[in-house]
A and B are shown apart, each in its own frame.
Chain A
Amino acid sequence: MRNPTNRAIRFSRQAFHFLMKAYPQAHRQNFGAEMEQVFRDQCHDAWQAECSWGLFKLWLRILPDLIKTSVMEHVESMKGRKSMLEKTSALTNGSRSTAVFIRVFAVIFLLVVTTSVLITYLLPETFASTARINLQPADALKSGTSYDPYLIQTEFEVIQSEPILGTVIEKLKLNELWGKKYMGGQVLKNAESIQLLRKSLHLIPIRNTSLLQVEVFSDQPKEAATIANCIAETYAESRRKSPNDLVEQSPRSLVTDKAEPNSIPVRPKKALNITLGCVFGIVLGAAAGVLVIAIRMAFSKKRAAIG
């Protein structure tokens, strides 16, 4: 069985090794190995502290640092060229400028695309499952014709109410389950679990029907389906068990579709993120290439004027 710790750290180290190409060759030769070693140590510390979230936060700190310092090192290496002739010939030569543009473009493009890929693959996956409820107003059942414009909104609030969600939490023992998952074993209070449950719950009315969609998000497909089904069933049950004086006013509800575990994550949207990364990479790469050439040309003119 493959160790996820090693896999995530190995992937991060490989990505960092690749991104080191953004630095000038001389800097890489002098400090490349040490920088990679420091990054490896940081990865281990980040993983020990907060697992993949720690690695993600480390990358959020490292990438801006890498972009800023690689540009600084390139500017310093330009200043460090030995002769004026070398500088001017390097700056005025057209083919050299094209090569510089391609190099800057490639580095920035790869940085942006790698960032988007890293973010996409390091973010925790979220799965969604949906159950459907058929909602029939009591009056409609009796007379066959009635329209209540507030029915859906009212039922939304009922589904998200404390009695319904509290029962779901009790049935599925979510206080203990989520306590283990998020609080390191400490049992959650009912109010905390209800808050978490409301955050992961999404209710959608289906247009021109009396159907309601109960969508639940979770990091585990099975958990999402179980919770969605439990909410739908608890709600339908509560409607069946309404006190007699309320039955006439309460809508009848029936679970029409049960939620099934969905193995395809809804978040992060991998294809979309990577496509956006490519588009931003092209735009930023081209802009950075043009900027570097403009700076080099301005620098060469200034030096020529001084000379």
Chain B
Amino acid sequence: MVAAKTNPEDLLPLTPAVFHVLLSLADGERHGYAIMREVAEQTQGRINMGPGTLYGTIKRCIEAHLIEESDARPDPQMDDERRRYYRLSGLGQRVLEAEAQRYADLVKLARAKRLIGKLAQVAVGRAY
């Protein structure tokens, strides 16, 4: 009920840790370690969360009804049954979409101001 009434815009902007955790769950359910690895892959190793940051973020996401614990196990035979799996809630999905849209708008703005083009030119200049 709380989740249904909450406006996704009220929860923005998300912290990078929350955004990446939600993004990693966009493809489906994952357990903690799989979320951690997915975030590291998404960011080319730039964000390497420790267990403390990961479960602190998961706890806050659960409290904000952005994610929920899943009862189902994708493949119990292949995985440790003691692991807890998490999935995006309806609100989490809407918040993630809103945050992604916010980033897209920012990128659009940066392009309009030719900031992204300038950065690319600087990078090319440094390479030579």
> A residues bordering B, Cβ < 8 Å?
23, 27, 30-31, 33-39, 41-42, 61-62, 65-66, 68-70, 72-73
Residue on A nearest B52 in the bound complex, by CB? A69
Contact yes or no, A37 B83, CB < 8 A: yes
A69, B82: Cα distance in complex, Å: 24
Q: Shortest Cβ distance from A22 into chain B, in angstroms?
A: 9
Q: Are A62 and B51 in contact (CB under 8 A)?
A: yes
Q: Can you spell out 12 A-B residue pairs with CB atoms less than 8 angstroms apart?
A: A31-B58, A34-B84, A37-B80, A41-B33, A65-B51, A65-B52, A66-B50, A66-B52, A68-B52, A68-B53, A69-B50, A69-B56
Bound complex: CA of A68 vs CA of B49, how far in Å? 12
Q: Which residues of B contact A65 (CB under 8 A)?
A: 49-53
Chain A residues with CB under 8 A of B49: 65
Tell me if B103 counts as interface (CB < 8 A to partner A). Answer: no
Interface string of B31-72 (1 = CB under 8 A from A): 011001000000000001111111110110000000000000
A41 to B79, CA, bound (A): 13
The residues of B that contact A35 with a CB separation of less than 8 Å are 32, 51-52, 54-55
Q: How far is the CA of A92 from the CA of B55 in the complex (A)?
A: 32
Q: In the complex, what distance in Å separates the CA atom of A63 from the CA atom of B51? A: 10
| Contact flag A38-B51 (CB < 8 Å), given A27-B59, A31-B59, A69-B56 | yes
Across chains A and B, the number of contacting residue pairs, with CB separation under 8 Å, is 56
Residues of A contacting B: mostly: helix
Residues on B lying within 8 angstroms of A by beta carbon are: 32-33, 36, 48-56, 58-59, 80, 82-84
Nearest 3 CB-CB pairs, A to B?
A: A65-B50, A69-B52, A35-B51
Pairwise interchain contact B55-A62, C-beta atoms closer than 8 A: no
A38 in contact with B33 (CB, 8 Å): yes
> B48 and A38: CB pair below 8 A?
no
A197 to B58, CA, bound (A): 50
How far does the Cβ of B46 sit from chain A's closest Cβ, in whole Å? Answer: 13
A61 and B50 form a contact (CB under 8 A): yes
A38 touches B82 (CB 8 A): no
When the two chains form the complex, which single residue of A23, A31, A37, A62 contacts B50, counting CB atoms closer than 8 Å?
Answer: A62
- Separation in Å of the B33 CB from the closest CB of chain A? 5
Least distance between A72 CB and chain B CB atoms (Å): 6
A34 to B56, CA, bound (A): 12
* Contact assessment for B32 and A38 in the assembled complex, using a CB-CB cutoff below 8 Å: yes
| Cα-based distance from A31 to B83 in the complex (angstroms) | 11
A31 to B52, CA, bound (A): 9
User: Nearest CB to that of A31 among chain B residues?
Assistant: B55
Task: Give the CA-CA distance A42 to B50 in the complex, in Å.
Answer: 9
Instruction: List the B residue with the shortest CB-CB distance to A41.
Output: B33
